[in-house]
């Protein structure tokens, strides 16, 4: 979505993934990132910290929104994407066994909003909006490989960056029921 566009006013209801998705997280790879940008392979896949973020957006996220895909591979990045008014309900993911792990995914939710450092159009730069007005309700997303509290070195079951209010209502992840709002921002890392 680096060339712009929008995903908005979408309703997804009643989806079953009996064997989940891949259990291995994968980011963009260092050759696909913009030098000096906030998305970097120098931090572990699926984490975000003051030194950078590395979403598992290429594979491993069960519900994934990625507004930053491989920006170095796209020479024209002049219109920021918009992701808003998304309603996801009644999604069920089963666990599967692969490589000695039994899980439904690497991370249950991967939401990477637009990144202002990705855009190379004329000044003034356009406003880069966070992912917003998203609701995920009445879902059982199985058991992700990543569990526990997310930190700068350990990915948790949920990754958010440039997100303003993904409302979770009766969402089960790894046996824990979430009724909360996800918000995540990080500042550009120092160059």
Q: Render pLDDT for 47-61 as a digit per residue (tens, 0 to 9).
A: 877 777 878 877 788
Distance CA 99, CA 137 (A): 31
Instruction: Report CA Rg, the chain.
Output: 16
Q: Tell me the sheet residues that pair with 52.
A: 49
Residue segments in the chain with a per-residue pLDDT below the cut of 50:
187-191
Q: Which two tokens stand for residue 102?
A: 């039994």
Q: Where are the domains of the chain?
A: 6-184
- Say what the pLDDT of residue 151 is: 84
Q: What is the pTM of this model?
A: 0.86
- Say what the pLDDT of residue 190 is: 31
């Amino acid at each position: 979505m680096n060339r712009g566009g929008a995903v908005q006013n979408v309703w997804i209801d009643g989806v079953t993934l009996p064997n989940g998705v891949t259990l291995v997280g994968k980011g963009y790879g260092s050759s696909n990132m913009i030098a000096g940008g906030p998305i970097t392979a120098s931090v572990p896949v699926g984490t975000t910290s003051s030194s950078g973020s590395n979403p598992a957006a290429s594979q491993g996220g069960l519900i994934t929104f990625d507004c930053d895909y491989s920006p170095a591979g796209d020479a024209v990045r002049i219109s920021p994407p918009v992701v808003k008014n998304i309603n996801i309900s009644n999604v069920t993911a089963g666990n599967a066994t692969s490589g000695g792990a039994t899980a439904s995914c690497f991370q249950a939710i991967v939401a990477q909003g637009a990144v202002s450092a990705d855009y190379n159009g004329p000044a003034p730069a356009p406003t880069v909006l966070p992912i917003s007005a998203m609701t995920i309700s009445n879902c059982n997303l199985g058991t992700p490989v990543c569990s526990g509290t997310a930190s700068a070195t350990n990915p948790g079951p949920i990754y958010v960056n440039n997100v303003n209010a993904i409302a979770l209502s009766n969402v089960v992840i790894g046996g824990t029921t979430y009724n909360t709002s996800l918000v995540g921002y990080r500042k550009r890392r120092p160059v």
